[in-house]
Amino acid sequence: MTQAANTTVTQTRERKRFSVREIAIEYAVLILLGAVIVALAILSPSFFTFGNIVNILNQNAPLVIIASAGTFVIVSGNFDLSTGAIYGVAGVVSAWLAVSTGNVVLALAAAPVVGVVLGSFNGIVITKLRVHSFLATLASSMIFTTIAVLITGGSLITVTTPGFTALGRDRIGGVFIAVFVMIIIAAAFWLLLSRTVFGRHVYAVGGNDEAAELSGINVTRTRVFVFMLSGLAAGTAAAIGVSRIASGQPLSGAGLELSAIAAVILGGTSIYGGVGAVWRSIAGVFLIALIGNGFDLLDLNPQLKDMVTGFIILAAVGLAAAGRNRR
């Protein structure tokens, strides 16, 4: 074999090694998700049952919806720490309307509307006052939580209105209605981010907002709309949540914002903006969910669950950082 041929073979092998490594980094969350599914299928005969799968999907429907919209926020180079508080306000408003009017449709439809209003408030504050989204949404989460507490007077609003629990508890063909809602909304968010001009604007704003503005993109409008979507998602998730538990609780969304951000980051969306995808965030949600499900099925020490989840998030973020540094 000539030297030129040897060089060609060596280069081909290097390209193959590079390609495999790149694929591993690019699809780390799917590889981890697949590994957890295989491990649980082998270790627990209860894992691949219809009831268990449906319950996992139903329990995580609100988080999938919030994380899908959260992808827009982080891809645009921002954070939204108020989604849990918006969830709480939207839930108690929905419960209060159900009790006050007896109109189930009006009550459940009000939750997404409240979410859009509060999300718009965030967007306007961030863009007009030029406050960093981290601080702005941290402050607004305190305001929204106080509003929720004032609405309920610090207690629960129990809803006994007939039909109010249909969205959260009823099933079609054995599958919860909430799961169908989750699939439709997640698909809509995926299409919006990956297949529309607005989606390209979100990536451009997150990649370099000055360059985006110079190229004619309305950065302010894009950011406001991104936070409106985040509020819409939190309100929709609240409608499912309040219908499921049949009561409005001011602190029912506590911690949801951090779970959503963790899932988005675990999926490989860059915290620096400009990179990410809705499907990645959904995979992140279910990776965390399956870890929790595995601890329950295998009767493992629940105190170790957060530690294992933390290590997996660190590993995923480390892989993404390694890939970014290589490029």
- pLDDT reported for residue 326: 58
Q: What is the mean pLDDT of the chain?
A: 90
How crowded is residue 160: how many other Cβ atoms within 10 Å of its Cβ?
10
Measured CA to CA, the distance from residue 117 to residue 87 in angstroms comes to 12
Burial 5-21 (b: 16+ CB within 10 A, else e): eeeeeeeeeeeeeeeee
Q: Residues with Cβ < 8 Å from 142, sequence gap 6 or more?
A: 85
Q: Residues with Cβ < 8 Å from 138, sequence gap 6 or more?
A: 81, 82
- pLDDT reported for residue 266: 87
How crowded is residue 303: how many other Cβ atoms within 10 Å of its Cβ?
8
- pLDDT reported for residue 22: 73
3-state DSSP helix/strand/coil percent for the chain, to nearest 5? 75, 0, 20
DSSP letter for each residue of 310-325: HHHHHHHHHHHHHHHH
Helix 104-128, helix 219-245: angle, nearest 10: 150
- pLDDT reported for residue 153: 87
Render pLDDT for 218-239 as a digit per residue (tens, 0 to 9): 999 999 999 999 999 999 999 9
- H/E segment holding residue 194: helix 177-195
- H/E segment holding residue 20: helix 3-26
Render pLDDT for 128-177 as a digit per residue (tens, 0 to 9): 999 999 999 999 999 999 999 999 988 899 999 999 999 999 999 999 99
* DSSP symbol at 171: E
Report pTM. Answer: 0.90
- pLDDT reported for residue 26: 77
